[in-house]
Amino acid sequence: MTRSISLLGATGSIGDSTLALIRSQPDLWRVVALTANCSAEKLARLAREFGAEIAVVGDEGCLDELREHLAGSGIEAAGGAEALCAAAARPADITVAAIVGCAGLAPTMAAIEQGKTVALANKEALVSAGEVMTAKVAAHGTTLLPVDSEHNAIFQCLQGNDLADVRWITLTASGGPLRTRTLAELDAVTPAQAVAHPNWDMGAKISVDSATMFNKGLEFIEAHHLFPVGLDRLRIVVHPQSVIHSMVEYRDGSTLAQLGPSDMRVPIASTLAWPARMDTACKPLDLTSIGELSFFAPDEERFPATRLAREAVHAGGGAPAVLNAANEVAVAAFLAGQIRFTQISAIVAHTLDSYTPPAPRSLDDVLAIDARARARAAAMLEHA
Ligand code: NAD
Ligand code: MG
């Protein structure tokens, strides 16, 4: 029996990995919607290859180019923020939410409203919306499967167990490419150095987040919403080899961990096949060639991001959405050469200090907080 699938953010790194898996089982899948921001040529090529029903660019200015590339294919083309949501709302057995940033929130919510299965890579959407998203998932009886490797690992380690028996959930962090740099060295880091991740090949934004440790900060908040064991039961440990993707310790002293290669096809495959398993072409884990696994406590002096995220989620209200929005603005400014690496966390901290909105109660509330926090962070760039 074929299954239908939509892929939001089809042209990115998670999009590539997901489509590689679908390509390996062509008879099993029927592609409904593929979306991108503006990579019209690549999007059209993928839509043709996979026989998608519709291809959508978020940036309406790229729609003409998309139409040209799809001419004669019979595939529908659309553009703009509303078209993204409309495509995400089309019936599909599974939707992979892999847009980067809060830009993916509204389409992800539209997919959740269908009440089928959403495989979530877009962590910024869950961090910003928090309970607004988890309440929507509950209200529509949607199955939310985590794609993020750590959360996918935790999800697997929790199967057959009771959340009430969890003593600790430990998120592992590679520490990123700058793990051993001094503060003075961090100040001089270039965008090229920050995106050169030792273990994972990812989009630019998450690569910078990995270098600042904001990725782990966002993941801490993501874990809090996906696995509500209480904030005092969540912790982070630095594990540079990225072999253990996360672990769960139970009250009897047993710790379950999920291990695997640093290849996003593994967690994505587990969501596509869930609750069954599927083959992947990933290189098997070779523990003897890895030799040793090491673990360190995070250094929040050099990398304040995990502390800022913990404080934001403890503060509650709209603070996580503010943290996420400020980080998105600061990362874009860093990638554009406007600010130094260490100014990213400073801008996030200042934005959090200057704006403490109440808890959002709807998607519109979240988007309003996101927009205001972006404006504040952008104003701070002027003085940075
Ligand atoms: P990417 O930059 O490679 O791809 C992002 C995708 O989103 C592209 O298809 C792009 O066209 C689309 N997009 C970007 N801005 C958009 C906008 N404003 N409107 C509509 N579409 C837009 O990013 P990625 O590395 O694939 O990451 C995607 C998400 O998955 C992020 O939230 C990231 O944190 C998460 N994630 C990624 C990895 C990884 O290994 N890459 C691992 C875990 C989680
Ligand atoms: Mg991750």
Write out the binding residues.
11-14, 122-124, 148-150, 174, 197, 203, 210, 215-216, 219
ipTM: 0.99
Protein residue with its CA nearest to atom 9 in ligand 1:
9
Q: How confident is the model at residue 199 (pLDDT cuts 50, 70, 90)?
A: confident
Q: Where in the chain are the domains?
A: 3-146
pLDDT digits (tens, 9 = 90+) for 47-76: 999 999 999 999 999 999 999 999 999 999
Protein residue with its CA nearest to atom 17 in ligand 1:
37
- Judged against a pLDDT cut of 90, whether residue 383 lies above it is answered with no
pLDDT of residue 191: 96
pLDDT of residue 179: 97
Residue 296 alpha carbon to ligand 2 centre in Å: 17
The atom number, within ligand 1, closest to the CA of 202 reads 41
Which protein residues are within 6 Å of ligand 1, measured from CB? 9-15, 36-37, 39, 58, 98-100, 103, 121-124, 148, 200, 202-203, 205-206, 264
Residue 277 alpha carbon to ligand 2 centre in Å: 21
pLDDT of residue 53: 98
| Class of residue 61 by CB neighbours under 10 A (exposed 0-12, middle 13-18, buried 19+) | exposed
Residue 244 alpha carbon to ligand 2 centre in Å: 12
pLDDT digits (tens, 9 = 90+) for 311-352: 999 999 999 999 999 999 999 999 999 999 999 999 999 999
What mean pLDDT do residues 258-282 have? 97
Instruction: Please state which of the four CATH numbers 3.30.420.40, 3.20.20.100, 3.40.50.720, 3.30.365.10 is assigned to the domain occupying 3-146.
Output: 3.40.50.720
Residue 37 alpha carbon to ligand 1 centre in Å: 10
pLDDT digits (tens, 9 = 90+) for 83-97: 999 999 999 999 999
The atom number, within ligand 1, closest to the CA of 99 reads 7
Q: What pTM does this model have?
A: 0.98
- Judged against a pLDDT cut of 90, whether residue 197 lies above it is answered with no
Protein residue with its CA nearest to atom 34 in ligand 1:
206
Residue 147 to residues 17, 40, 65, 194, 219: CA-CA distances in angstroms? 11, 25, 31, 23, 12
pLDDT digits (tens, 9 = 90+) for 120-153: 999 999 999 999 999 999 999 999 999 999 999 9
Residue 31 alpha carbon to ligand 1 centre in Å: 19
Q: How confident is the model at residue 279 (pLDDT cuts 50, 70, 90)?
A: very high
